[in-house]
A and B are shown apart, each in its own frame.
Chain A
Amino acid sequence: MNNFNYTRAGNIQEAMSLVSQNSDAGFLAGGTNMVDLLKYNLVHPELLVDINHIPEHRGILETEDGGVQLGAFATNAETAYHPLIETRYPLLSRAILAGASAQIRNMATNGGNLLQRTRCYYFYDPNTPCNKRKPGSGCSAIGGYNRIMAILGASEDCIAVFPSDMCVALSALDAVVRIDGVDGTRSLPFAEFHRLPGNNPERDNNLQPGEIITSIDLPEKGFEKNYSYLKLRDRSSYAFALVSVATGLDLEGDVIKEARIALGGVAHKPWRIKDAEDFLAGKSPSAENFAAAAKIILNGAVGYGHNNFKIDLAKRAVVRNCLMALNPESQQPGAHPSI
């Protein structure tokens, strides 16, 4: 952990101005990832700007277009347990509660959740090559121990996965990320926020230096009747996903009007394939159809040895989670398999 300066920002303009003036400055929100990275000597800021005391962007509010806005500085716990989220977006609530621990969810913010770094062993070990940590040094996970690594969208430079659960649900829900910068505000559809590693895996997302997430906006449709989040991991709780699935189904009688399926733990960003969702539209919610959709989603998946199992597991998880979405009350705490 290096030495750094610390200051509290009173408002968002002040925070952005402080950070944009110093290329070695960063924001400090819940701290659950930032302080961890500091202690592992993976980041070396000169200045940390504490944004926890900024009064704006803390609420969970209904928007004029019928959706709900998640303040970027609201905590994960406040969001998951908020009545608007529990009733209208229970998929999101479930996904958040499947992540980390109660203590961490009490600290971590929504904005910070989008920005958490990978859990790749080699990224965390400064004495092994890692292109994400040190561009050009190589990827140790390829040819190394890669049980937790990606099977989709990886590159020859990086096979790390993005560890968030919350973001898997946000991806399925077509959320929009609102961003402030010194040059004004902009928004990004959720699918365009995170990046695939390609040739510059050091960049996890498309946020520009000095920019800050102010909110994540959910459109009106919340799939509150048929939804499910399933998380498969090496122990029952407090572990990162090997494979997770968020499913929202809009059913009309025995026909799927619209399906949303997003995967976590398999790629450098939450993984969604529109073709698979289109395939399900107009079809019956059967295991066979879900399996066919799973096949489309996993098309092109590649294993790196220890993680080969993820390809088959992900297919099975998609089917199971879609079936669980037909029966949301069967879900158990911890996003375990049910039915």
Chain B
Amino acid sequence: MSHKLLTGQPVSRIEGQQKVTGAARYAGDYHVPELLYGYVVNSTITKGKILEIDTEQIKAIKGVIEVFTHKNRPSLAWFDLQYADMDAPPGSPFRPLQNADIKYNGQPIALVVAETFEIARYAASIMAVRYEEQHFFTDLESNKGKARDPKKGLATFLKPLPAKPKGDFGKAFHNAAAQVSAEFIHAAEHHNPIELFATTTVYEEDGKLTIYDKTQGTINCQLYVGNVFGLHYKNVRVISPYVGGAFGSGLRPQYQLFMSVMAALQLKRSVRVTLDRQQMFTFGHRPPTIQQTRFAADSQGKVTALGHEAVAETSQHEDYTEVVVNWSNMLYPAPHTSFDYKLVPLDVFSPLDMRAPGGVTGMHAIESSMDQLAYQLKIDPLALRLINYTDFDVTADRPYSSKELRECYVQGAEKFGWSKRTPEPRSMRRGHKLVGYGMATGIWEAMQVLARVEAVMTAEGKLEVSSAITDIGTGTLTVMTQIAADELGLALEDVTFCYGESQMPFAPVQGGSFTVSTVGAAVKAAGKALRKKLLKKAGNMPGSPLKSVSEKEVVFERGGIILKSNQNVIVYFKDIVAAEKKKVIKTTNTGVPNVFKLKNYTRAAHSAAFVEVEVDEELGTIQVTRAITAVAAGNIINPKTARSQILGGMVWGISKALFEETISDHRFGKYMNQNLAEYHIPVHADIHELDVIFVEEKDDIVNELGSKGIGEIGLVAMPPAIANAIYHATGKRFNQLPIHFDQLL
């Protein structure tokens, strides 16, 4: 029996049983003896200074242990750099309780610590604060005139600024046979994972900290805590095995971590701080963005000129940027281009990457503009994409490492029934309802960064692989177990993937769709090294049949090393470990991107989304009745969990197109719908038939696994596909998201 590859199999999630029985413990679920509870107090003004906080009255409440404010907080790190986490944009990171200054509405200004959650909450609710209020600006639209170029910094490496103008855009646009010009407006959005942000800091007897935190980066939080509080990293252990959704919100350490650690250190007690749902609206968010496109094509449909400008919100203290305008020329090789991306600093908290940051924003504008071009030229929208298809990335002057987008178009259109579409708007009906078909393209760059992995062969002949990476619901645990099992030809149950702890080998934050490529490459590197080590040690065993045998001559399966020439010869892993007279055999290795190979190619995942909407013409109500996303993302390690990732992205796309927005009242400089009753994400009744196709895509360049990442690609094409379908159904173009049904009246 030879080893059947586990990668490529639809393995059910390994932690499934824990999740369906309630046994899975999230950051706020750890039962700790003598635990104290912290509740955060937030600023009710948008800009100004705290004049006075009445803490005496609060401290008098029985059960209140301490109140922390900027006045009595411990002495902390001095320099910005010490507060800058792995995902910090250029600027000066926000420091909780730094001083009396209020920079945004909802800024945390105090922490009440009490014996029970209820006492802490009550005490926080009656705290009286006097402020001096200053004039503020929170509205992007009315402050557009203040737009300026973003500052450059380390983040610019992963988020390149727009390319310089190419050709003669003005002339080419003016002289083209077809031109579209449109403005796109996007609202602010908040990640709103269903799990509230929580940190349980356990103050150990020796003064060390064990921190259960909701995060997408255990080491990121460990370093932050170490730097800010002046602790040795060895004494700070951050543990996050279960993360109840994050979508980018956990890329940076959030203020509940700071508060919980500060209180634990000062009180020498274990402290839990859980934010409430309103407080989930007091940190990072997807920034409101205003975009202008100017696209032009010749009469045959060849795109000749691409103009795309974006103005986005940032905070006064950091220049958060996104890649919004760089995508169109990667897809459509026009010779004349003009791109611009600017920021307006406002009195808000810094925006933060939220699922498919920038991409979902820009692609909505790009793919809606392409749809408009198609109508002007009287060319089928899908045909227009094919006319402009390219395997070469003109923006970087290099080919794609692989690009099966054409297959996405073909297979998606076939399964969807795109050919049944009649091109005229308002030409399709079902009963009294208007029916619209829309499609759009998606793209997301395939990235790989560095990670380390330790692989251990145990005395029982089982494999343990470990990495500090988290699993935020993406399926990382399952996928890494599959990859590791294949490395040594083991069954799934003989492999344990240990993860979600800062003390484990280095992993970056989990985001950007780069976890599988990054950590997976490290798992493969460690697997390879362990094979080599095991074979060498097996060869050194007394009377070994594997003496001086090379790796080419053996296979790793059935829990041992087998000679290809004589399959009856097997040396079991457990015997190799036993012969070493050690407990285990282990190795730690780094997964390194092959930059010399990579620099000659652009690497990206692609998708095509096809959407059917039904619109009740009289009442405006919209239902996305059907959607198919065809994805080319290289090698799919686990089709079951990968499909879920794409489905999730599609639901996010529906949400962004039709439901989701954080509403501001700029008179107060604050968000008004800070709850899940008025911040609408789709309910089950909103989600109808969704389907996913993974087209075959071989890629030997992108990384050793040939995988491109799938966390974002399911989302990017959906909002424009929906907007285009609504246009097809109604003949009305809506460029502001979300599209509310009453706009269709």
Whether chain A touches chain B in the assembled complex (some CB pair under 8 Å): yes
Q: Is the CB of A235 within 8 A of B619?
A: no
CA distance A31 to B670 in the complex (A): 29
CA distance A122 to B667 in the complex (A): 12
Partner of B659, one of A2, A3, A234, A333: A234
CA distance A309 to B619 in the complex (A): 11
Partner of A232, one of B619, B682, B685: B619
Partner of B672, one of A121, A234, A236, A242: A121
Residue B668 interfacial (CB < 8 Å): yes
Residue B626 interfacial (CB < 8 Å): no
CA distance A125 to B619 in the complex (A): 31
Stretch at the interface among B118-126, B151-159, B630-638, B709-717: B118-126
Cβ proximity bits A304-339 to B, threshold 8 Å, 1 near / 0 not:
000001101100110110000000000001101101
**With A1-B118, A240-B677 known to touch, is A232 a contact of B621 (CB < 8 Å)?**
yes
Q: For residue A333, which residue of chain B has the nearest CB? A: B685
Q: Is the CB of B685 within 8 A of A236?
A: yes
Q: For residue A332, which residue of chain B has the nearest CB? A: B685
Within 8 A of B (CB), among A1-41: 1-3, 41
Cβ proximity bits A105-130 to B, threshold 8 Å, 1 near / 0 not:
00000000000000101101101100
**With A121-B673, A234-B659 known to touch, is A337 a contact of B680 (CB < 8 Å)?**
no
Within 8 A of B (CB), among A43-75: none
**With A41-B125, A237-B685 known to touch, is A232 a contact of B667 (CB < 8 Å)?**
no
Residue B73 interfacial (CB < 8 Å): no
**With A1-B125, A236-B686 known to touch, is A337 a contact of B659 (CB < 8 Å)?**
no
Interface of A is mostly: loop
Q: For residue B43, which residue of chain A has the nearest CB? A: A127
CB distance from A139 to the nearest CB of B (A): 12
Residue B616 interfacial (CB < 8 Å): yes
Q: Is the CB of B683 within 8 A of A236?
A: yes
Cβ proximity bits B574-608 to A, threshold 8 Å, 1 near / 0 not:
00000000000000000000000000000000000
Stretch at the interface among A140-148, A171-179, A187-195, A258-266: A140-148
Stretch at the interface among B327-335, B360-368, B375-383, B737-745: B737-745
Residue B410 interfacial (CB < 8 Å): no
CA distance A2 to B672 in the complex (A): 23
Partner of B742, one of A124, A125, A145, A309: A309
CA distance A47 to B121 in the complex (A): 19
**With A1-B118, A313-B742, A339-B432 known to touch, is A320 a contact of B668 (CB < 8 Å)?**
no
CA distance A65 to B668 in the complex (A): 55
CB distance from A237 to the nearest CB of B (A): 4
Residue A255 interfacial (CB < 8 Å): no
Q: For residue B687, which residue of chain A has the nearest CB? A: A236
Q: For residue B658, which residue of chain A has the nearest CB? A: A235
Residue B620 interfacial (CB < 8 Å): yes
CB distance from B431 to the nearest CB of A (A): 8
Q: For residue B276, which residue of chain A has the nearest CB? A: A39
Q: Is the CB of A128 within 8 A of B668?
A: yes
Residue B86 interfacial (CB < 8 Å): no
List A contacts of B15 (CB < 8 A): none
Within 8 A of A (CB), among B641-676: 659, 663-665, 667-668, 670, 672-673, 675
Q: Is the CB of A2 within 8 A of B667?
A: no
CA distance A87 to B620 in the complex (A): 32
Q: Is the CB of B118 within 8 A of A235?
A: no
Q: Is the CB of A232 within 8 A of B680?
A: no
CB distance from B729 to the nearest CB of A (A): 15
Interface residues on B, range: 35 or more
Q: For residue A240, which residue of chain B has the nearest CB? A: B677
Q: Is the CB of A320 within 8 A of B619?
A: yes
CA distance A124 to B665 in the complex (A): 14
Interface of B is mostly: loop
Q: Is the CB of A235 within 8 A of B680?
A: yes
Residue B678 interfacial (CB < 8 Å): yes
**With A145-B665, A232-B741 known to touch, is A316 a contact of B685 (CB < 8 Å)?**
no
Residue B34 interfacial (CB < 8 Å): no
Residue B736 interfacial (CB < 8 Å): no
Residue A239 interfacial (CB < 8 Å): yes
Q: For residue A316, which residue of chain B has the nearest CB? A: B618
Which of B44, B667, B672 counts the most A-chain CB atoms under 10 A from its CB?
Answer: B672
List B contacts of A236 (CB < 8 A): 623, 682-683, 685-686
Which of B620, B683, B684, B742 counts the most A-chain CB atoms under 10 A from its CB?
Answer: B742
List A contacts of B668 (CB < 8 A): 127-128, 140
CA distance A161 to B742 in the complex (A): 18
CA distance A140 to B670 in the complex (A): 13
CA distance A140 to B665 in the complex (A): 10
Q: For residue B45, which residue of chain A has the nearest CB? A: A127
List A contacts of B740 (CB < 8 A): 234
CB distance from A150 to the nearest CB of B (A): 16
Partner of B682, one of A140, A235, A242, A336: A235
Q: Is the CB of A237 within 8 A of B683?
A: yes
Partner of B122, one of A2, A128, A309: A2
Q: Is the CB of B619 within 8 A of A337?
A: yes
List B contacts of A143 (CB < 8 A): 667
List A contacts of B675 (CB < 8 A): 124
List B contacts of A309 (CB < 8 A): 742-743, 745
Q: For residue B44, which residue of chain A has the nearest CB? A: A127
Q: Is the CB of A234 within 8 A of B680?
A: yes
CA distance A240 to B676 in the complex (A): 12
CA distance A122 to B621 in the complex (A): 27
CB distance from A33 to the nearest CB of B (A): 12
Cβ proximity bits B23-44 to A, threshold 8 Å, 1 near / 0 not:
0000000000000000000001
List A contacts of B678 (CB < 8 A): 119, 121, 148
Partner of B621, one of A3, A41, A128, A337: A337
**With A313-B745, A337-B619 known to touch, is A3 a contact of B122 (CB < 8 Å)?**
yes
List B contacts of A242 (CB < 8 A): 742
Partner of B619, one of A2, A3, A313: A313
CB distance from A205 to the nearest CB of B (A): 22
Q: Is the CB of B432 within 8 A of A235?
A: no
**With A119-B677, A119-B678, A337-B621 known to touch, is A235 a contact of B745 (CB < 8 Å)?**
no
Q: Is the CB of B665 within 8 A of A144?
A: yes
CB distance from A260 to the nearest CB of B (A): 21
CA distance A140 to B659 in the complex (A): 24
List A contacts of B745 (CB < 8 A): 309, 312-313, 316
List A contacts of B667 (CB < 8 A): 140, 143-144
Within 8 A of B (CB), among A201-258: 232, 234-240, 242
Partner of B121, one of A1, A121, A128, A337: A1
Q: Is the CB of B677 within 8 A of A1?
A: no
List B contacts of A235 (CB < 8 A): 659, 680, 682-683, 685-686
CA distance A140 to B682 in the complex (A): 28
List A contacts of B742 (CB < 8 A): 242, 309-310, 313
Within 8 A of A (CB), among B420-474: 432
List A contacts of B664 (CB < 8 A): 145
Q: Is the CB of A125 within 8 A of B621?
A: no
Cβ proximity bits B110-128 to A, threshold 8 Å, 1 near / 0 not:
0000000010011001100
List B contacts of A312 (CB < 8 A): 745
List A contacts of B680 (CB < 8 A): 234-235, 239
Question: 13 A-B pairs, CB-CB below 8 angstroms?
Answer: A121-B663, A121-B673, A127-B670, A140-B665, A140-B667, A235-B659, A235-B685, A239-B683, A240-B677, A313-B742, A316-B745, A317-B619, A337-B621
**10 closest Cβ contacts across the A-B interface?**
A236-B685, A309-B742, A237-B685, A127-B44, A121-B672, A236-B686, A237-B683, A238-B683, A337-B616, A235-B680
Residues of A participating in the B interface, judged by any CB pair closer than 8 Å: 1-3, 41, 119, 121-122, 124-125, 127-128, 140, 143-145, 148, 232, 234-240, 242, 309-310, 312-313, 316-317, 319-320, 333-334, 336-337, 339
User: Told that A2-B126, A316-B745 touch, could you supply 19 new A-B pairs with CB distance under 8 A?
Assistant: A2-B125, A3-B122, A121-B665, A121-B678, A122-B672, A127-B670, A140-B668, A143-B667, A234-B680, A235-B680, A237-B684, A242-B742, A309-B742, A312-B745, A313-B619, A313-B742, A316-B618, A317-B619, A320-B618
